[in-house]
Amino acid sequence: MEIQIRPLTPEMADIFTTYVGELDFHHAPHWQFCNCQYYHINCPTEEWRARSAEQNRQLAQENIRNGVMHGFMAFDGDKPIGWINANDQQNYDLLKNNEEFKQYPGKNGLVVCFLIHPEFRRKRLARKLLETAVEDFRTRGYDRVIGKPFTWSAHPERQYHGVPIMYEELSFVKMAEKNGEFTYVLELK
């Protein structure tokens, strides 16, 4: 297996939405319609739940093509096998005014989602995607990278923010913990 990790580009909009659309979400069927748009929309929960998969697919394609969505896709040859949504905090409408993040001035990179193909889980692919995102944020002059992993031992396949050990292995520091959700920060400057 020769894994390649590529930055998401406007030309990859169809590849991304096809990858997400073909993933098996039997462990969390309500995720099937998201297309990694949850954090890109700031709306009431009822409005979010009323959105269709097609609306979110179209929004994902639009956000990819106009550069609002950023992250990296992993490929095994030509087959997409993984995704990390790693972006400037200001590109996540839902989190722009998040009180917790106000304590971190400057330019913050934020990791909000991993989607790993089931055949490639538990092979450290998410960690490799995270490492790639960190290096990208460092190269682009960000002050820090923030991750919000959580543990859910009953349903490990639902830990779409990653798990604490991934962040710790890359020298992120645990800054907060509440109800099994953590805030990890890696200072880049």
Domain ranges of the chain: 3-187
Distance CA 110, CA 92 (A): 9
Query: Does the structure show a pLDDT above 60 at 156?
Result: no
pTM over 0.95: no
55-97 per-position pLDDT tens digit: 999 999 999 999 999 999 999 999 999 999 999 999 999 998 8
The correct CATH number of 3-187 out of 2.60.40.4070, 3.40.630.30, 3.40.50.920, 3.50.50.60 is 3.40.630.30
The pLDDT value recorded for residue 30 is: 67
* Residues in CB range of 61: below 8 A, 6 or more apart: 13, 14, 16, 17
